[in-house]
Amino acid sequence: MSLPTMTGVGRLVADPELRFTQSQKAVASVRLAFNSRRLNKQTNQWEDGDTFWIRGTAWEGLAEHVAETLAQGMEVLVTGELRTESWEKDGQKHSQPSLLIRSIGPNLAYATASVTKANSQQSAGGQQQRPTQAQRPQVQNRQGPPTDDPWAVDQANGYSDKPPF
């Protein structure tokens, strides 16, 4: 039996943390938040619903790409396998859900990205310094949907499921 797979749109709560194992395999940890937003038809305002917090882990080349590309606050599309992490601290057993990330990238509905194909040396691992914010590829966040998006929320009439044609 396989682990459940999750695909969703979330937001990075903090910058990815890149480290290397003793065998020099890269591993990146990302903290993600997923929340539900809904339009309150009485006030015509968006309201946040429940929030699901989870720590995701990416390995090897993907880990390095995550650390080089993504930053706190970015909205991302992520797919991975749900797992349960367990540990013991001070004689107490603890557990929490975690996500083994298989793919992750910026949500291009609210950002633009410049994509460069990684060569085998970039993906091979090896200890590297984490790039500074200025060295990261340019991904520009926008607030809210594009103004010319026909599928976006109509502020005057609220959300519509109907296609704009």
Does the pLDDT of residue 134 top 60, yes or no? Answer: no
Architecture of domain 5-141: Beta Barrel (2.40)
Q: How confident is the model at residue 66 (pLDDT cuts 50, 70, 90)?
A: very high
CA 66 to chain centre: 9
Q: Give the model confidence (pLDDT) of 6-21 as tens digits.
A: 999 999 999 999 999 9
Domain boundaries of the chain, sorted by first residue: 5-141
Is 90 exposed, middle or buried (CB count within 10 Å of its CB: 0-12, 13-18, 19+)?
A: exposed
Q: Give the model confidence (pLDDT) of 70-94 as tens digits.
A: 999 899 999 999 999 898 989 999 9
- Any idea how long the chain is? 165
Please tell me whether residue 132 adopts helix, strand or coil conformation.
Answer: coil
**Count of beta carbons in the 10 Å neighbourhood of residue 62:** 19
